[in-house]
Amino acid sequence: MLDVLSRHADATQKEKHYEAVIESIEALMGPDTDWLAAMATIVCELHHAFDYYDWTGFYRVVRDEHLQIGPYQGGHGCLDIPFTRGVCGAAARERKTQLVPDVELFPGHIACASSTRSEIVVPFMNPRGEVLAVLDVDSDSEAAFDLIDQAGLERIAKLYSERFPMRPSVQR
């Protein structure tokens, strides 16, 4: 397990830490790792590597325009989120990372925990640009995430969306 990075670490330390997390994920995954095992491993490694990650988890696209909880770490997460709602819904709908420094200023934010102050949600897309899941990270600190977090998480999204044959359980 990696050391835990403080929210007050400088940019270089933070960039290096994302590199180290990716190395750690790589070391844990083997040739038989499937997408579900990959999601669980990504979430676990990230959650324990940063002191400002208070909830870390995936929401999967389970049917048209609808997300359902996947592997996560932290307290209870909401089970179902339509694309029309919340930060997760916005990331899935717009196919774009949502970096939210203050959740109270985000219209429609869904408060799964009242302690959450800031949030980042990154879409995982297949090569055709279809969203298969979103990775949601919540923090109890205000403005906890910055562009380095965004770059690190988007790198993970690209790396593993391409590597694993994600099988969305979209029922058409």
Instruction: Give min distance, CB of 42 to ligand SME, in A.
Output: 16
CB of 27 to ligand SME, least distance (A): 28
The answer to whether residue 70 forms part of the interface with ligand SME (CB under 6 A) is no
Alpha-carbon gap, residue 51 to 139, rounded angstroms: 9
Closest CA to 20 of 156, 158, 119, 161: 156
Among the listed residues 46, 70, 66, the one whose alpha carbon sits nearest the alpha carbon of residue 153: 46
Using alpha carbons, select from 72, 106, 71 the residue that is nearest to residue 89: 106
Choose, by CB under 6 A, the member of 21, 24, 41, 77 that binds ligand SME.
77
Q: Which residue number, 22 or 100, has a Cβ lying nearer to ligand SME?
A: 100
Q: In the complex with ligand SME, which residue's Cβ is closer, 71 or 89?
A: 89
**52 vs 103: CA distance, rounded Å:** 15
In the complex with ligand SME, the residue whose CB is nearer, 70 or 77, is 77
Element (H, E) at 46: helix 35-47
User: Of the candidates 39, 44, 88, 122, which one interacts with ligand SME according to CB under 6 A?
Assistant: 88
81: contact with ligand SME by CB under 6 A: yes
Cα torsion 168, 171, 134, 80: sign? negative
Minimum CB–partner distance for residue 119 and ligand SME (Å): 6
Enumerate binding residues for ligand SME (CB under 6 A).
55, 77-78, 81, 86-89, 109-110, 112, 116, 119, 136, 138
